[in-house]
Structure 1
Amino acid sequence: MIRYVDMFRDRFGVEAICRTLGATASGFLTARGYRAAKSRPRSARAIRDEVLGAEITRLHAENYGVYGVRKMHALMRRHGWLIGRDQTGRIMRTFGLEGARRSRRVFTTRPDPAALRPADLVRRQFRADAPCRLWVSDITYVATWSGFAYVAFVTDVFSRRIVGWSVSASLRTEASPLPALEMAAWSSGGITGLVHHSDRGSNYVSLVYTDRILELGATPSVGSVGDSYDCQSVSARSRNDGVVLAGVF
């Protein structure tokens, strides 16, 4: 309430504001009480909070602004400050400080019920007797300081090698999986007779992606929606490589 009077005292006057506040359910504050509060010496708690707040702000910035109450409390204790955990949280809230929060869950597989889907030609039999006979595609994501980076990759089942990949800030077909497919086709020099397998994510069953597979002379194959077993035996290593690739960017 004191802060509210400070904000509007020059516009309406202290007496008018206190009189209006006293007539409402917001509470009661007299002009005399306001002036007494303003002239009263600062309490020991307020002075200590200011000192602790300055130190917490400094340490919070030095640790990239990611420490929450628990880690900040432990850090302050390691620096020799006698401070409680609840007190740390209260001061951090007062100074507008908070730690990094757990990232929201990201879904990289978004099925499109209206899309026409190719048949499943693989049925989890991820074996090939030569290169460029069977490819599997997938998308993973990496949390970065500026947001999520989506890593699309194409893996050759025979060699277990990533033959195409791309990194994008978007899950759109043109931004993420399609450049990976183009890279794989270019590096392989031709994929006539190849089977391209993926899950049923909308970016893989889209017309632009399926038509491009057919234009390259390959046959599209689609499994289930984000199934943990579908493509997993081949793409587990590719997921780890994808994280490394994203880290470069």
Structure 2
Amino acid sequence: MYLTLGAGQHNPVPARDKDNQRLLILIRDSYSLSGGVYGYRRVHGDLNEIGEVCGKNRVDRIMQLNRIKAVHGYKAPRRIAGRPSVVAPNRVQRQFTVVRANQVWVTDITYIRTWQGWLYLAVVIDLFARNVVGWSMKPTLSRELALDALMMAVWRRKPDGEVIVHSDQGSQYGSDDWQRFCRANNLDLAPSMSRRGNCQDNAVTESFFSSLKKEVSVQREPY
């Protein structure tokens, strides 16, 4: 049986269309907070984080229909300059749970896009409390960038026992200066390195950098 609509009545909006309109508001919020650099995959990730259950294809379709496109054209700088002169064994082996402070520090470098250009950031994180104990920022990727972050960590923490310092195989972490510092000043810093090309071996710093860049995007700063 069909219902005949009287004068002044309209066809109701389908529930799916209503839900798409609701999702569109959330999609626009995510896209706007990213500074216009998020594509549908990263927008979909934001929706998942706030508990929205929807498919990537649906997000892609809604963005296309509403002409919401990621801004491209920013070429990321080179991440690794050269190869390390020394490669240390992987002492961590993805065991990111420790029982005391200053047992294992993890360190890495990322780049952040600012209004003035690229900025390189090196951090040292203590796995015990997952807090940053040393950092350094420079406009160029240099050996001093990583070493300055480690120096700050040592100065702030003044460890009195062995500390495993885990990094990737970037040339900054295999330099002679880095190795000498790890052996100097009566500090028992034991270098540890991830396998080449395996970011999961240093997942804690990767997670920190991801969160940091999301916070930067909330402030509408480029990265």
TM range (shorter): 0.5 to 0.7
Give the counterpart letter for 1:218 in structure 2: L
Q: Are 1:195 and 2:178 matched, yes or no?
A: no
CA distance in 2, matches of 1:111, 1:227: 17
Q: Residues 191, 109 of structure 1: CA spacing in aligned structure 2 closer, same or farther, 3 A cutoff?
A: farther
Q: Which residue of 2 aligns with 1:218?
A: 189
Q: Are 1:138 and 2:108 matched, yes or no?
A: yes
Deviations, residues 60-95 of structure 1 (Å, cap 9, x unaligned): xxxxxxxxxxxxxxxxxxxxxxxxxxxxxxxxxxxx
Given that 1:155 and 1:238 are in contact with CA atoms closer than 8 Å, whether structure 2 keeps it comes out as: no
Q: Residues 238, 148 of structure 1: CA spacing in aligned structure 2 closer, same or farther, 3 A cutoff?
A: same
CA distance in 1, matches of 2:133, 2:212: 12
Of 97, 109, 118, which residue of structure 1 is paired with 2:80? Answer: 109
Give the counterpart letter for 1:194 in structure 2: V
SS in 1 for 2:177: helix
Q: Residues 111, 121 of structure 1: CA spacing in aligned structure 2 closer, same or farther, 3 A cutoff?
A: farther
CA distance in 2, matches of 1:163, 1:192: 16
Q: Are 1:235 and 2:200 matched, yes or no?
A: no
Deviations, residues 86-139 of structure 1 (Å, cap 9, x unaligned): xxxxxxxxxxxxxx86111333234516x1211111122222110000011011
Could you state the TM-score of these two structures normalised by the residue count of structure 2? 0.59
Q: Are 1:152 and 2:126 matched, yes or no?
A: no
Deviations, residues 215-243 of structure 1 (Å, cap 9, x unaligned): 232111111234221111x1134214654
Identity among equivalent positions (%) equals 31
Give the counterpart letter for 1:116 in structure 2: V
* Unpaired segments ≥5 residues, structure 2: 1-70
SS in 1 for 2:199: coil
Give the counterpart letter for 1:104 in structure 2: K
State the Cα distance separating 1:164 from its structure 2 match: 0.6
Question: Alignment RMSD, CA only?
Answer: 2.7
Give the counterpart letter for 1:129 in structure 2: V
Q: Which residue of 1 aligns with 2:95?
A: 125
State the Cα distance separating 1:186 from its structure 2 match: 0.9
Of 166, 170, 186, which residue of structure 1 is paired with 2:140? Answer: 170
CA distance in 1, matches of 2:166, 2:137: 20
Q: Residues 230, 158 of structure 1: CA spacing in aligned structure 2 closer, same or farther, 3 A cutoff?
A: same
CA distance in 1, matches of 2:94, 2:208: 17
CA distance in 1, matches of 2:165, 2:192: 6
SS in 1 for 2:201: coil
Q: Which residue of 1 aligns with 2:178?
A: 209
Could you state the TM-score of these two structures normalised by the residue count of structure 1? 0.53
CA distance in 1, matches of 2:180, 2:199: 26
Given that 1:151 and 1:242 are in contact with CA atoms closer than 8 Å, whether structure 2 keeps it comes out as: no
* Unpaired segments ≥5 residues, structure 1: 1-99
Given that 1:136 and 1:231 are in contact with CA atoms closer than 8 Å, whether structure 2 keeps it comes out as: yes
